[in-house]
């Protein structure tokens, strides 16, 4: 018998208020009492562009050495402690097995082949260990169920040739029975491929044999994760698969959650770097299934300018305002730019000022072999390198000093602004914040600030606040950063003051 932890579901105490049937969806979501769900991660009731957890609104900030942290237990507890110490509360966890010392979900026989009807308990113990550690630290875990990079061309210890689902690697089915390839020599791309593994669902190939084993695997994951209140669900990592593939698994997850009277939050991550493209739009158009969005591909190195990064993010936010307001997550932020790392931190801060619900630095691939790389960086991502720690720490200082959940992106208040020079977040008349990626000078409209206010500067690179200075409201107030580098100006109404 499995011992139910204090945070896990106690079914007799769950009070169902009936069924909420949402139009345009094949999913019937259970409506549960506010008392039941108050401690679960969910969109903030006062501003659903953000999350709330344990009944309080939160901004999710993160940066870790690996994406599949559960499968890297050595030094994991200390790594999570460091994340919390600097103000982080958000990690990514792909269900991947493509690194040194990773284990697979299925039992491996003496022959070297896998038996898909038997589990490798170590894999599941590692997952539960991660969820226990994160629950104890109030860290939100965004779980990604399928990672295409585990199923296509081999990359550094992972790929289709290693997969237990590959018919040459298991005793459960043959290539003929499964209709799956034995070799895949191409990489995942932003559009559907012929790969049969991602076509098993009824609306595509209707491959019942393989789909049953896929469901068995997903159901095993859910048997663990659904008992934790700090989990968000993403079907794929940067997928180009048919939309029917993601839709099937979204529906399946909600069905399993319904059986436990749990309301979960789900999305899918498309690979297209243009987050205003049609496949992203499909997700925006279906809030009944995709209850949050992940726009991480907007943080890739194929987005050439800072201004475009902001503009597309704001266009996505506008679409959500029209189609259904939901949190905009960013579970990975890339860093490379001509041999420097400036793009990563600037993207991180633009996300915060752009009204996003989460921001997390991507891992420092390919530095992924052991704890000696826990705080490394690469041109791929900052992970939890000291530079990432500094930005997370400063961001938490900023968020703790402003009622960010009452603010909206407000670049319309700025004038005499050069491209990518400054960004504004404001609740007009009460609080204003400006982010300077690399110093600068702009004018801001403070006409709604009726009385004298205060201005204070956060030196992001030093995580230090300046002393308060007085500032008077008028139409055009010149704001000049104290120097080059990253700065935040915080302007508060006099009656409020710096928090």
What is the reported pLDDT for 172? 98
- pLDDT digits 0-9 by tens, 284-313: 999 999 999 999 999 998 776 789 999 999
Phi-psi region of 72 (alpha: psi -120 to 50; beta: other; left: phi over 0): beta
Q: Of 139, 69, 63, 75, which is closest to residue 387 (Cα–Cα)?
A: 63
Q: Do 234 and 291 form a contact (C-beta atoms < 8 A)? A: no
pLDDT, tens only, 43-100: 999 999 999 999 999 999 999 999 999 999 999 999 999 999 999 999 999 999 988 8
Please give the pLDDT value at position 58.
98
List b or e across 204-222, with b for residues whose CB sees 16 or more CB atoms inside 10 angstroms.
beebeebbebbeebbeebb
In this predicted structure, which of 128-142, 357-371, 421-435 has the lowest mean pLDDT?
357-371
144 pLDDT exceeds 80?
yes
Give, in order, the Cα–Cα distances in Å from 162 to each of 67, 114, 127, 220.
19, 11, 20, 21
Residues 92-131 have pLDDT tens digits of 999 999 888 999 999 999 999 999 999 999 999 999 999 9
- pTM higher than 0.95 for the full model? no
Q: d(Cα 499, Cα 68) in Å, to the nearest integer?
A: 37
Structural contact between residues 446 and 432, judged by C-beta atoms closer than 8 angstroms: yes
pLDDT digits (tens, 9 = 90+) for 159-210: 999 999 999 999 999 999 999 999 999 999 999 999 999 999 999 999 999 9
Sign of CA dihedral 31, 50, 148, 137: negative
CA 164 to chain centre: 27
Match 């009936």 to its residue by tokens.
Answer: 18
What's the CATH fold of domain 11-400?
Answer: TIM Barrel (3.20.20)
CATH number assigned to the domain covering 407-493: 2.60.40
DSSP 3-state helix, strand, coil percentages of the chain (rounded to 5)? 30, 25, 45
Mean pLDDT to the nearest integer, 203-220: 98
Indicate the DSSP class of residue 209: H
SS (H, E, C) 356-388: CCEEEECCCCCCCCCHHHCCCCCCCCCCCCHHH
Number of CB atoms found within 10 A of residue 132's CB: 13
For position 338, what pLDDT does the model report? 53
* CA 369 vs CA 124, 348, 353: distances in Å: 21, 26, 35
Pair type for strands 293-294 and 266-267: unpaired
Residue with tokens 């993601």: 246
> Across residues 125-154, what is the average pLDDT?
97
Locate tokens 């943080």: which residue? 299
Compute the Cα dihedral for 159, 328, 377, 374 and give only its sign.
Answer: negative
Q: Contact at 8 Å (CB) between 66 and 86?
A: no
DSSP letter string, 375-437: T---SS--TT-HHHHHHHHHHHHHHTTS-GGG-EE-GGGEES--TTS-EEEEETTTEEEEEEB
Beta-carbon neighbour count of residue 457 at 10 Å?
21
All structural domains of the chain with their residue ranges: 11-400, 407-493
Q: Tokens 């399993």 label which residue?
A: 256
Instruction: 81-87: list long-range contacts, CB under 8 Å, 24+ apart.
Output: 81/137, 82/375, 82/384, 82/389, 83/139, 83/384, 83/392, 84/137, 84/138, 84/139, 86/389, 86/390, 86/392, 86/393, 86/396, 87/61, 87/392, 87/393, 87/395, 87/396, 87/397
* Bridge partners (DSSP) listed for residue 326: none
Structure tokens at 21: 């049937």
Least confident of 14-18, 206-210, 491-495: 14-18
CB-based contacts of 482: which residues, under 8 Å, 6+ apart?
457, 459, 466
For β-strands 328-329 and 293-294, DSSP reports them as: parallel
């Amino acid at each position: 018998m499995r011992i139910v932890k204090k945070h896990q579901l106690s079914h007799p105490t769950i009070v169902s208020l009936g069924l909420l049937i949402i139009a345009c969806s094949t999913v019937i979501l259970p409506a549960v009492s506010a008392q039941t769900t108050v401690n679960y991660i969910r969109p903030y009731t006062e501003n659903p562009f953000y999350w709330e957890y344990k009944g309080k609104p939160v901004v999710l900030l993160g940066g870790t050495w690996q994406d599949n942290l559960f499968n890297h237990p050595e030094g994991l507890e200390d790594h999570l402690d460091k994340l919390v110490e600097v103000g982080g509360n958000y990690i990514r966890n792909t269900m991947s097995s493509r690194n040194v010392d990773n284990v697979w979900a299925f039992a491996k026989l003496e022959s070297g082949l896998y038996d898909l009807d038997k589990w490798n308990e170590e894999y599941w113990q590692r997952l539960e260990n991660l969820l226990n550690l994160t629950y104890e630290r109030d860290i939100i875990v965004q779980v990604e169920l399928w990672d295409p990079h585990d199923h296509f061309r081999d990359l550094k210890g992972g790929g289709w040739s290693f997969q237990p689902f590959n018919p040459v690697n298991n005793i459960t089915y043959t290539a003929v029975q499964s209709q799956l390839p034995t070799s895949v020599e191409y990489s995942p791309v932003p559009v559907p491929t012929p790969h049969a593994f991602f076509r098993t669902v009824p609306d595509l190939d209707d491959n019942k044999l393989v789909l049953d084993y896929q469901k068995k695997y997903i159901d095993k994951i859910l048997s663990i994760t659904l008992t934790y209140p700090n989990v968000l669900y993403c079907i794929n990592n940067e997928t180009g698969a048919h939309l029917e593939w993601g839709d099937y698994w979204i529906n399946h997850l909600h069905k399993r959650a319904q059986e436990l009277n749990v309301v979960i939050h789900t999305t899918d991550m498309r690979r297209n770097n243009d987050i205003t493209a049609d496949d992203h739009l499909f997700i925006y158009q279906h809030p009944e299934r995709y209850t949050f969005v992940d726009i991480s591909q907007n943080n890739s190195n194929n987005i050439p300018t800072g201004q475009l990064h902001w503009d597309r993010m704001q266009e996505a936010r506008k679409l959500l305002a029209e189609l259904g307001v939901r949190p905009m997550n960013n579970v990975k932020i890339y860093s490379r730019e001509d041999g420097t790392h400036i793009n990563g931190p600037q993207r991180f801060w633009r996300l915060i000022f752009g009204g996003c619900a989460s921001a997390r630095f991507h891992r420092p691939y390919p530095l992924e072999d052991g704890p000696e790389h826990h705080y490394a960086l690469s041109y791929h991502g900052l992970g939890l390198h000291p530079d990432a720690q500094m930005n997370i720490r400063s961001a938490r200082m900023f968020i703790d000093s402003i009622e960010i959940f009452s603010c909206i992106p407000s670049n319309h208040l700025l004038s005499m602004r050069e491209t990518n020079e400054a960004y504004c977040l404001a609740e007009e008349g009460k609080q204003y914040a400006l982010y300077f990626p690399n110093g600068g000078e702009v004018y801001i409209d403070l006409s709604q600030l009726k009385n004298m206010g205060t201005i204070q500067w956060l030196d992001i690179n030093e995580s230090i606040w300046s002393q308060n200075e007085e500032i008077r409201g008028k139409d055009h107030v010149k704001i000049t950063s104290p120097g080059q580098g990253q700065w935040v100006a915080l302007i508060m109404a006099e009656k409020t003051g710096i928090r």
